[in-house]
């Protein structure tokens, strides 16, 4: 799971804990661990939502100024399905230093 560079610090600080993605199909799974900086994010929840569920409050919770800002970044390819991905940032661990995640 990749994030726009400006979200890295807020995610690592625990300020951003969800992401709205527009995909053809899910690209992550619950329990999946995806590298970010010196640690990783672990997906805790994944659910499909309607585009009408994307509110200004959800956009801000996802680290964006508003819905237009979020929707410019959220669309990946030709996808039309909207997913809400919730996650927790996990700092570096000894296992990650060994190349295991």
The tokens describing 12, both together, are 């690592």
Q: Confidence class of residue 94 from pLDDT cuts 50, 70 and 90?
A: low
Q: Superfamily assignment of 5-97 in CATH?
A: Sulfate adenylyltransferase (3.10.400.10)
Q: Tell me the domain boundaries of the chain.
A: 5-97
pLDDT, average across residues 73-87: 88
* Residue of higher predicted confidence among 62 and 75: 62
Q: What is the pTM of this model?
A: 0.86
Does the pLDDT of residue 77 top 60, yes or no? yes
List C-alpha distances in Å: 72 to 20, 34, 57. Answer: 11, 22, 16
């Amino acid at each position: 799971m990749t994030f726009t560079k400006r979200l890295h610090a807020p995610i690592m600080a625990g300020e951003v804990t969800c992401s709205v993605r527009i995909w053809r199909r899910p690209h992550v799974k619950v329990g999946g661990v995806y590298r970010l900086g010196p640690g990783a994010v672990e997906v805790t929840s994944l659910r499909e939502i309607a585009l009408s569920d994307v509110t200004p409050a959800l956009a801000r919770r996802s680290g964006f100024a508003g819905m237009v800002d979020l929707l410019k970044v959220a669309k990946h390819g030709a996808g039309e399905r909207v997913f809400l991905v919730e996650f927790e940032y996990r700092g570096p661990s000894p296992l990650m230093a060994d190349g295991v995640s």
